[in-house]
Amino acid sequence: WPQDVGIIAMEVYFPAQFVDQAELEDFDGVSKGKYTIGLGQTRMGFCSDCEDINSLCLTALTQLMEKTGIDYTSIGRLEVGTETLVDKSKSVKSFLMTAFAASGNSDVEGVDSTNACYGGTAALFNAVNWVESSAWDGRYAVVVAGDIAVYASGAARPTSGAGAIAMLVGPNAPLVLDRGVRSSHMNHSYDFYKPVMSSEYPIVDGKLSIRCYFAALDSCYKTYLSKARKHLDEEVKSLADFKAVLFHTPYCKLVQKSFARLAYNDFRCLSPEAAAALHPSLTAFRDLPLEDTYFNRDIEQAFMASSEEAFLTQTKPSLLLATEVGNMYTPSLYGALASFLAGYSADPDSLVGSRLCLFSYGSGLASTMYSIVIKSGLAQQRLGADVRLPSSNGQAGWSLSQLVSSLSDLQQRLASRQKVPPQIYSDIMKLRESTHHLAPYKPVGCTSSLLPGTWYLTYIDDLHRRQYERVP
């Protein structure tokens, strides 16, 4: 069986324009600090009407292929995770096959996975499962997670965002998914859902969604630790055993609270004596039913304070894309992974042997906690750091240093985006709203801000067939 199956290379795409969250606070007339401190958001990426889910995913896919130099004939599976549906039947994956046309390769398994922000993780698991299965034919898999996250104007709108991330999956990977420890919590809930096909916007019960997120986190963590005891060689019994803890990030403040929540879960596992020594005033909270503790301010504040230092090193560096672009939905967790890796571009090899914990959450609800172990990658071990992926077999991989250095320009790419005033952002949202699912339709959004290599929508004909072009 193929060994060390996981993520070999990544490509991140986010919109070329953003709105500033502090300016948005003024524009929306909310109290100063509500979005920037209360939610922990700095900037928010958004798309005009000339970008849609197909163009976003196509940009991420083609740029991944160009960056790695891999041939389209070397891909045997393509998976898409998205909740941004422009069609109830035709998958985004089927559209992405346009990129394969010139290669003549149509032998590519996989379609779309949809369940709110969880679809990217479902797609990744499908890809990994395929490589580890009897159906594997020796080629690579590609996963594309993409979404345009938009909310009706109101409390949820500052938690919008957009983006797409493409990942190359195969054996001998630098980011290896641990086997036997994936731990899920799946349940029915109407916390966030999109029943109205004529609108891009979800129906959201904000407080319920936070409750569901915390419940899923608690449940996944408990199951993960018990599976880790059985299936991992190394001891993994608390937060301290991970180099980093990465979360699906609807907004950054929730992630800091979630990190503190995991610290609270660890506290509950301590002996009464150890718990009393750590938080003498909180021992009474140790045995409360977990569901009674989600909005308990005493617990939240105590554990946010006591876990702050660990949060700053284990999680904060992974929030770069989340605070700068916003909630990308399905790519959000993988944006955290890319942000974390980008922080190690000066010394990627220091990561070798580290274990990362990842928590994926999609409303409705589906959630999984799993872990990744970082290895140097076969290419570097055997073939030297400069080796490119071979074009026709699935046996080699990109090295860790190639993966990390390919992400090292994230900060600079974020800094070079165009800032747009809130009024224009609001007008563009109104335009998207009034033209959603309109056909025929010619987008009027400005394409001059799009970077070279970006795909964009040029026309929707009267049969809702979409046409695209690429910025040269």
* 202, two tokens: 């979800």
Nearer to ligand CAA, 360 or 399 (CB): 360
Nearer to ligand CAA, 251 or 311 (CB): 251
Adjacent-strand bridge partners of 374: 175
Quote the least distance from Cβ 292 to ligand CAA, whole Å. 17
Adjacent-strand bridge partners of 20: 43
Contact residues toward ligand CAA (CB under 6 A) are 31-34, 37-39, 116-117, 155-156, 159, 192, 204, 206, 209-210, 213, 248, 250-251, 254, 327, 329, 361, 363
CA 363 distance to own-chain centroid = 14
Quote the least distance from Cβ 306 to ligand CAA, whole Å. 17
Q: Which of 47, 50, 57, 117 is catalytic?
A: 117
Nearer to ligand CAA, 119 or 397 (CB): 119
406: helix, coil or strand?
coil
With 0-12 / 13-18 / 19 or more C-beta atoms within 10 angstroms meaning exposed / middle / buried, residue 80 is buried
Nearer to ligand CAA, 114 or 380 (CB): 114
Nearer to ligand CAA, 75 or 263 (CB): 263
DSSP state letter for 379: I
Quote the least distance from Cβ 108 to ligand CAA, whole Å. 29
Quote the least distance from Cβ 196 to ligand CAA, whole Å. 16
Answer yes or no: 47 catalytic.
no
Quote the least distance from Cβ 422 to ligand CAA, whole Å. 16
* Cβ 92 vs Cβ 124: under 8 Å: no
Answer yes or no: 248 catalytic.
yes
Quote the least distance from Cβ 286 to ligand CAA, whole Å. 22
* 174, two tokens: 């630098």
Strands 112-113 and 418-419: unpaired
Helix (H) or strand (E) holding 223: helix 206-231
Q: How far apart are CA 140 and CA 124, in angstroms?
A: 12
Helices (H), 307-377: 308-314, 320-325, 332-342
Residue number of the CB atom closest to ligand CAA? 38
* Cβ 204 vs Cβ 247: under 8 Å: no
- Side-chain-facing half-sphere of 72: CA atoms under 13 Å: 16
Q: Which of 248, 252, 324, 357 is catalytic?
A: 248
Quote the least distance from Cβ 454 to ligand CAA, whole Å. 25
Strands 175-177 and 6-13: antiparallel
DSSP letters along 167-206, please?
EEEESS-SEEEPSS--EEEE----SEE---TT-SPPEE-H
Nearer to ligand CAA, 70 or 366 (CB): 366
Nearer to ligand CAA, 363 or 406 (CB): 363
Q: Which of 83, 185, 200, 212 is catalytic?
A: 83
* 182, two tokens: 């994936």
The residues assigned a catalytic role are: 83, 117, 248
